[in-house]
Amino acid sequence: MADVKNPKVLATPVNIIVGSHVWVEDPDEAWIDGQVTKITGKDAQIQTTNGKTVTEKLSKIYPKDLEAPPGGVDDMTKLSYLHEPGVLQNLKTRYELNEIYTYTGNILIAINPFQRLPHIYDSHMMQQYKGAPFGELSPHVFAVADVAYRAMINESKSNSILVSGESGAGKTETTKMLMRYLAFLGGRVATEGRTVEQQVLESNPVLEAFGNAKTVRNNNSSRFGKFVEIQFDKHGRISGAAIRTYLLERSRVCQVSDPERNYHCFYLLCAAPAEEVEKYKLGKPQSYHYLNQSRCYELVGVSDAHDYLATRRAMDIVGISEKEQEAIFRVVAAILHLGNIVFAKGKEVDSSVPKDDQAKFHLNTTAELLMCDVKALEDALCKRVMVTPEEVIKRSLDPQSATVSRDGLAKTLYSRLFDWLVDKINNSIGQDPNSNFLIGVLDIYGFESFKANSFEQFCINFTNEKLQQHFNQHVFKMEQEEYTKEKINWSYIEFVDNQDVLDLIEKKPGGIVALLDEACMFPKSTHETFANKLYQTFKNHKRFIKPKLSRTDFTIAHYAGDVLYQSDQFLDKNKDYVVPEHQDLLGVSKCPFVAGLFPPLPEETSKSSKFSSIGSRFKLQLQQLMETLNSTEPHYIRCVKPNNQLKPAIFENQNIMQQLRCGGVLEAIRISMAGYPTRKPFFEFINRFGLLCPEALEGNYDEKAACQKILEKAGLEGFQVGLTKIFLRAGQMAELDARRAEVLSSAAKTIQRRIRTHISRRRFLAVRKASVDIQSICRGVLACKFYQNMRRQAAALKIQKHIKRHQARVAYQKLHISALVLQTGLRAMAARREFRSMNLNKNATLLQAWWLCRRAVVYYKKLTRSCIVTQTRWRGRVARRELRKLKMAARETGALKEAKDKLEKNVEELTWRLQLEKRLRTDLEEAKAQEVMKLQNTMQEMQKIIEETNALLAKERETAKKAIEEAPPVIQEKEVLVEDTKKVESLTEEVESLKASLETEKLRADEAEGKYKELQESSEEKRKKLEETEKKVQQLADSMRGLEEKLANIESENKVLRQQAVSIAPNKFLSGRSRSILQRGSESGHLEARAAIPDLHSPSLNLREPAEVEEKPQKSLNEKQQENQELLIRCIAQHLGFAGNRPIAACIIYKCLLQWRSFEVERTSVFDRIIQTIGNAIETQDNNDILAYWLSNASTLLLLLQRTLKASGAAGMTPQRRRSSSATLFGRMTQFPWSATSGVDSLRQVEAKYPALLFKQQLTAYVEKIYGMIRDNLKKEISPLLGLCIQAPRTSRASLVKGASRSVANTAGQQALIAHWQGIVKSLGNFLNTLKANYVPPFLVRKVFTQIFSFINVQLFNSLLLRRECCSFSNGEYVKAGLAELEHWCYKATDEYAGSAWDELKHIRQAIGFLVIHQKPKKTLDEISHDLCPVLSIQQLYRISTMYWDDKYGTHSVSPDVIANMRVLMTEDSNNAVSNSFLLDDDSSIPFSVDDISKSMEQIDIADIEPPPLIRENIGFSFLLPRSD
């Protein structure tokens, strides 16, 4: 296998020409883009985008892909140029859009955002990635966990996820997310207490407190490797877990460099509550040697006191007792005190003693905390025991050796404590010995290279070399699988390998680890002798380098770069054996916990193992880890830290490149470069390079053949054509792009030539046209002048002609006018004379008439007066005669009586006359009013007469004119009297005044009429408002009355339920299903939980049915009743169909229950049997037809019960009936044979007992259940189609550009595009027809389709936001066409069944509208958020805007200013967890209640329902037969 050190050498020379856009190395930015301006030999001059001009060799520059998507690609294998600058630019582009995850094949690269992004880790996102194919959705850590879990389930093989990266890259957080998602997928359903995954996650704070520390690059760096084994049972549920740790950095306990910190637990204990600090005799961190070596004691934004309490709580959670916690922190405090024991020279030679009282205080405190003897502790630190065959010798240690002994004890104590914590956590979590397979999550340190690199960095880098080899083999395996899948020849491909580095480190014998162990075994060995041994052994090894200026350092050329190691402390740090004095001292500690950390070693073990090294132990652990990884299917996550400031939105190119090298990403690129780094699907390849071979597109070739034609014409060799892709060798893509650029350049030159020709010809034509125009203008001017002269001559002639004519006309007109004036004067004179003559005649006639009238009146008055005088005198004479007669009669006796009677008559007559006069006076007043009316009428008639007179006068004038004209010229003048003229004038004035008064009255009448109309309009409006108010009042009264009745029913129902529940044991008449529904009803508020608790002291327990007296007759009646019930159950179990739009089964059940009075009995089993029948019918049914049938029946029966049943004892209800002797169902049925029928017609109210009310609630539950089953069945049916509807199917470019067949291809393509949408529409239509055929109430149909369209909206919208390939312009057009199909379906379904379903698609409609709108960069944020997409949140708009790409016209998304404003708004809302979620939630609740069904359904007439044949002939069901009136 070939091994290439420099990744840039692998690239074959590419065709770089002047004008090419390339990448060139930059010391500040790693890589910078520019354009080639000049090529000289093997050098190229490049103008960079930052304004610099650089010269670089052609072999060190890389082509830039100008057609790369503006938002980058989610999988870097899709890059046209797979090289370092292309990878770096793609990661940077995506990071700027907050896209922190990117694939490289099946490797996930995760860049730490250094900010909260809760919207990409919530439960909605987990649900989206659950079961989704890898690569279908946007890159995510959940996708890696999901593919590992699916592979484990499907292939029954363990999997592992390897998380790597340097400190601060986010490895720990990524591991947490992986475990969260695996817990989401495989969390056990029934556990007591905390689940395994919870315990694993809850153990993190404990391990972080004791295993994490602040480093230069990370405030919470894991200083140990962790492999979490999550174990699963055969059902794929988590059954156990275990945590394996590797190489805790023990040296950090004693040695800390500035500005790092020691392990967190030391600082947490110093910040503990005061009583804790006093108990352990602690002070501030600055006073302890193990902590004050660095000046960093606190972390910004972190409270050690708060974290201490959190750690104690975490210890409680993972099962560490209070006593054990106290012992743990005693050990931690003892280590701090141990570090402050300082030694000085003793009295003896090479001896040491505690330096001062402060050192003795810390020595005593340490012994007190460890519960050991002070003197023994001092001896263990300052002396060593040497055992010889002859005797036991105690040797004193000098102060330096004593200090080393002290630090060794501290490191041993801490490492034993950490191992105990890990074992305790594993025991607490619990491992499953019967686990079938596991998923391991490896969170391990990344490659490290500092200024000073010691033994820890050597082991860490050794681990990464081992993992890198595993990674390389995995990547090469994936490459092989890809090549095998595409069936191409790959046998000659080699890949880089780092086996030589691993041999250098671990080979036996002769490896660095073996030489180190060998040196540690010799007491006289030093780091200098060890280094010399290395120099001699590996002087010719290409991976081992000896520095020139050092005698103890050495350099190893790792895969990620050269690392210089200082071997000063290699020997000390490699020694792992426990000092026997320390073992003996702490093994007999009075503290059981401390003694447990140092168990006695077996005698044979202590004799045989005289030496133990960390390197060998670590090598063994690493070997075990690799065996575990090799037995699993690996998945890789590479975590990257974008900057060292640990701040968001900062992308440091150099830092990123170094991490990509250390993480092996560039190694993966090298492997790809060794094979076929460029892979293009056929349609993309044809779309990009089809112009290199136009005949391949015009001919009748398929895509594969067309691609081969293009490559053959290009003359490339070494490429491979797979089943769906073209595989190109390194550099071939650039060569094709160069040829494509040449073709495009040639085409551009041709276009320029044509355009220049066109411009020149247009200029020539313009000049020619201008000259012709000038000539035309000159000729026109001459012609105009000639024409003007001719015009002047013609005008002069016309003027002369018209002047002469005018003069003659004026003379004629004068003569004509004079003649007319003369004639007019003469005619007027004659007319005036005639008028005066006629006026005189008329006036004379009037005077004569008046005079004759006056004379007749005077004569009449004289005659009348004479008649009256004559009559008076005659009557006086007659009266005198009568008087004489009366006087004579008075003298007689009877004369007085007659006179009296006569007087009485006269009195009566006078009284009558008085009343008559009064009546006449009243009549006179009425007559006056009538006279006034008559006068008004007369005035109007006079006005008409005047008008007629004026008309006659005008007519007479005309007649007079004619007469004057015809009369002789000589007329005699007569004098005219003026008296009549004056009267006429006075009458005329009076008429004018009457006219004026009439006009005034008219005006008043008009004003009054206007006011009357206004009053009438206002009164009409007030009347309408009053009517509306009355209607509203009536509606409010009705609703109030209904609410009062409903409240009374509910109160009475609850009352009855409580009374009945205490008197009837539920097990006797309730099935398990009934009890569960009763319990559910109580939770929802219909029943109270305490209603099911029987009252043993209730008097109802002593009640007995009166029918028990007649035991034998009652038995036969009960048997008959049971037979009828059995027959009814068998009948309704069949499909009875519908009568019109009424379900027969529901109507039959209701009629029977009402006839048998089942609603009014205390105990019955008929309800349970009906419910059981319905349950059996729908239990295992996926047939929507049967479900719709029972939904129709159940909802109809529920409606009848809702309108019929009322709880007994409700307010305003009739008193309860007294029970008769025949109280059984059958007895009452026979007693009132037709009462039920009459009640059905009117739906009379029935006082319901407990079983009936319970039956109603059970029926409600089944209506909801059947509704949910139908809805979910439709969701299952359309879900597969929705996944195909969100992305338009790819159409071959070659098939769409074939000349004559283009229209046919487009038609076929359109048909293929909407096929999936038509499948959804077909499913919806079939579903609607099924519901219609079973007469499901339209209200429920509307609810179903509203929720289905909401489901479609959620699925399409979430898929759109999670898949970048869907956020394109052409895909928006495709989805828009599909939504039009749904809209057309809603229109055909009508509002009766579709309802507001179309409005539920508002999110996807607005999102698609945004995708297909043009000129997005010109849109402001206000226009987008308020006009285009008012429903979408800022997070959703930001997601769509950043993921959008135009694959049709190449346009851009919204402007950068709009993106920046969106980021500001999202930052302001970052504290709101709800607003951060851009995914929608599917609502699976039941969107209606019983009252909604009751209000929405019409009244049902069940009187004329024909019973089914099974019960029609049975006399017990004769009441079901329709009866004529």
Q: Cα separation of 172 and 200, whole Å?
A: 13
Pairing relation of β-strands 383-387 and 101-104?
Answer: unpaired
> Which of 368, 366, 374 has its CA nearest to residue 341?
366
Tally the C-alpha atoms within 13 A of residue 768's C-alpha that lie toward its C-beta: 6
Catalytic residues: 167-168, 172, 218, 221-222, 446, 448
Residue 1014 annotated as binding site: no
Q: Cα separation of 1191 and 1265, whole Å?
A: 9
1289 cis-preceded (ω within 30 degrees of 0) = no
Locate all alpha helices (DSSP H) within 1314-1337, ordered by sequence. Answer: 1315-1333
> Which of 613, 616, 607, 626 has its CA nearest to residue 509?
616
Residues 6+ apart with CB under 8 A from 932: none
> Which of 706, 685, 698, 694 has its CA nearest to residue 746?
694
Q: Cα separation of 586 and 93, whole Å?
A: 58
> Which of 1412, 1411, 1290, 1442 has its CA nearest to residue 138?
1442
Strands (E), 746-891: none
Q: Which tokens belong to 578?
A: 């426990």
Question: Which residue, chain included where needed, has tokens 């010798």?
Answer: 393
Residue 99 annotated as binding site: no
Distance of alpha carbon 573 from the chain centroid: 56
Q: Cα separation of 39 and 17, whole Å?
A: 7
> Which of 105, 140, 145, 5 has its CA nearest to residue 474?
105
How long is the chain? 1525
Cβ atoms of 1332 and 1184 within 8 Å: the answer is: no
In one-letter notation, the amino acid at residue 787 is Y
Contacts 24+ apart (CB under 8 A), 940-948: 942/991, 942/994, 943/991, 943/994, 943/995, 943/998, 946/991
Q: Which tokens belong to 635?
A: 């998945």
Residue 1235 annotated as binding site: no
Residue 166 annotated as binding site: yes
Per the rule left: phi > 0, alpha: psi between -120 and 50, beta: everything else, 19 is: left
Residue 167 annotated as binding site: yes
Q: What are phi and psi of 215, to 5 degrees?
A: -115, -175
Cβ atoms of 153 and 201 within 8 Å: the answer is: no
CA dihedral (897, 903, 906, 911) positive or negative:
negative
Question: Which residue, chain included where needed, has tokens 């695996």?
Answer: 182
Residue 635 pairs in a beta bridge with 161
Q: Cα separation of 1159 and 1255, whole Å?
A: 9
* Secondary structure of 440-494 in HEC code, one letter for each residue: EEEECCCCCCCCCECHHHHHHHHHHHHHHHHHHHHHHHHHHHHHHHHCCCCCCCC
Residue 894 annotated as binding site: no
Cβ atoms of 241 and 229 within 8 Å: the answer is: yes
Give kind and range of the element (H or E) at residue 228.
strand 225-232
Pairing relation of β-strands 392-396 and 383-387?
Answer: antiparallel
Residues 6+ apart with CB under 8 A from 1372: 1408, 1410, 1411, 1412
CA dihedral (1248, 1252, 1253, 1259) positive or negative:
negative
Annotated binding site: 165-172
Annotated binding site for ATP: 165-172
